[in-house]
Amino acid sequence: MKDVATAAGVALKTVSRVVNEEPGVTPATARRVLAAIERLGYRRNESARLLRRGRTATIGLVIEDVGDPFYSGMGRAVEQVALAHGSLMFSGSSGEDPRRERDLVLAFCARRVDGLVIVPAGPDHGYLRPELDAGVAAVFADRPGGLDADTVLCANSAGAYAGVAHLLRRGHRRVAFLGDDPAIFTAAERLAGYRRALADAGLGADPSLVAMGPPERAGAALSAMLAGGDPPTAVFTGNSRITVAVLRAGHRPPLVAFDDFELADLLVPGVTVVAQDPMGLGRTAAELLFERIAGGRGPARRIELPTRLVPRGSGELPPAPGTAGPGHR
């Protein structure tokens, strides 16, 4: 900018005025400055500008895995909203590691991002407190953080309830639940929805029909259940990785899966899913964030986005005749 000023024979400040389209510059002067800018290939140093102004027009996104379709869809939505607000987006993956999440968030804060969208990897966000007090905005997405900040969730419990109820309406009385580690918020919520659906249908909860754990064990868990004395007639899977694990293991039971996935419609039978809305999640979280960045006060909000049941065949199968012997109800 100094060079431009020299080249155009004006003061630094005048160049600044031209670049920022501030009023009070003669068209003739402005033309001279613009010509010099063009000639020198000058581009304003945004970092310096933002250092001076105090706003960085940058947000940070911390998700579990940039490569996971669910989260990357979310990221895309966040990016779109950021774009609309003239902000750029840092992004990083926590890989479910709370320490890595913390490091990323702090690195973003050190860059003085205006705000953060975080998919919490761990339950404890005490490290965020000083940052929030320092004026950084933060929104938790997909799972609640350990802090009283705006939060956007999917209707995990209600969605699982709807999915299980869908199976019950088809006459199933023994529905297995295959979920992830219950330490994960969404897994626990979905399990709760499953239990509520059974209870509301007047069915007792049979612990032998519930298997919680890492997806790679889901296939074997289901095999064991099916080989047992009183097998399930239908299955509800708690997330896509588990769904895929079950399918890869060769099982094609009557099935409703939580979370939609690419090509679910092309399998035979098509997989009935309780679809979440990753783009909606990202969009909503980013919108809340920018409200806060714009100065929005008030108590933390908690928004639950509805899920949508998408029947595709696997969830509409009746109990296989003979699988559930008489005497069950």
Partner DNA sequence: CGCCCCGATGACAACGTTGTCGGCGAGGAG
Partner DNA sequence: CTCCTCGCCGACAACGTTGTCATCGGGGCG
Chain contacts with DNA (rule: CB under 7 A)? 1-2, 9-14, 16-17, 19-20, 23-26, 28-29, 42-45, 48-49, 51-54
Structure token digits, residue 141: 């997405």
State the binding partner of 53 from a second copy, DNA, none, CB within 5 to 8 A by kind: DNA
Q: Is the separation of the CB atoms in 155 and 306 below 8 Å?
A: yes
Query: Closest distance between a second copy and the C-beta of residue 47, in Å?
Result: 5
CB nearer to a second copy: pick between 51 and 205: 51
State the binding partner of 258 from DNA, a second copy, none, CB within 5 to 8 A by kind: none
Query: Closest distance between a second copy and the C-beta of residue 207, in Å?
Result: 30
DSSP string for residues in 63-84 = ES-TTSHHHHHHHHHHHHHHHH
The answer to whether the bond into 299 is cis (omega within 30° of 0) is no
What secondary structure letter does DSSP report for 203?
P
Sign of CA dihedral 78, 83, 84, 87: positive
Query: Closest distance between a second copy and the C-beta of residue 203, in Å?
Result: 31
Strands, E, within the chain: which ranges?
A: 58-63, 88-93, 115-118, 137-141, 150-154, 175-179, 210-212, 234-237, 255-258, 272-275, 302-305, 308-310
**How many whole angstroms separate alpha carbon 122 and alpha carbon 199?**
31
Chain residues in the site for a second copy (CB under 8 A): 41, 43-48, 50-51, 56, 58, 65-69, 72-73, 75-76, 79, 83, 88-93, 106-112, 130-131, 133-134, 244, 247-248, 261-263, 265-268
- Give the chain's radius of gyration (CA, Å): 26
Place of tokens 């929104």: 139
Query: Closest distance between a second copy and the C-beta of residue 76, in Å?
Result: 4
State the binding partner of 23 from DNA, a second copy, none, CB within 5 to 8 A by kind: DNA
**How many whole angstroms separate alpha carbon 324 and alpha carbon 163?**
20
Residue 162: name the closest of 329, 2, 308 by CA: 308
Query: Closest distance between a second copy and the C-beta of residue 98, in Å?
Result: 16
**How many whole angstroms separate alpha carbon 137 and alpha carbon 108?**
12
CB nearer to DNA: pick between 48 and 320: 48
**How many whole angstroms separate alpha carbon 195 and alpha carbon 187?**
12
CB nearer to a second copy: pick between 112 and 173: 112
**How many whole angstroms separate alpha carbon 134 and alpha carbon 20?**
28
State the binding partner of 56 from DNA, a second copy, none, CB within 5 to 8 A by kind: a second copy
CB nearer to a second copy: pick between 73 and 280: 73
CB nearer to DNA: pick between 21 and 262: 21
CB nearer to a second copy: pick between 5 and 267: 267
State the binding partner of 13 from DNA, a second copy, none, CB within 5 to 8 A by kind: DNA
Query: Closest distance between a second copy and the C-beta of residue 324, in Å?
Result: 27
State the binding partner of 262 from DNA, a second copy, none, CB within 5 to 8 A by kind: a second copy
State the binding partner of 204 from DNA, a second copy, none, CB within 5 to 8 A by kind: none
Query: Closest distance between DNA and the C-beta of residue 295, in Å?
Result: 17
Structure token digits, residue 260: 């939609």
Sign of CA dihedral 118, 122, 125, 127: negative
Structure token digits, residue 10: 């004006």
State the binding partner of 90 from DNA, a second copy, none, CB within 5 to 8 A by kind: a second copy
CB nearer to DNA: pick between 13 and 39: 13
Query: Closest distance between a second copy and the C-beta of residue 106, in Å?
Result: 7
CB nearer to DNA: pick between 24 and 204: 24
Please list, in sequence order, all residues whose beta carbon lies within 8 angstroms of the beta carbon of residue 62, skipping any fewer than 6 positions away.
Answer: 91, 92, 93, 94, 101, 104, 105, 108, 116, 117, 118, 119
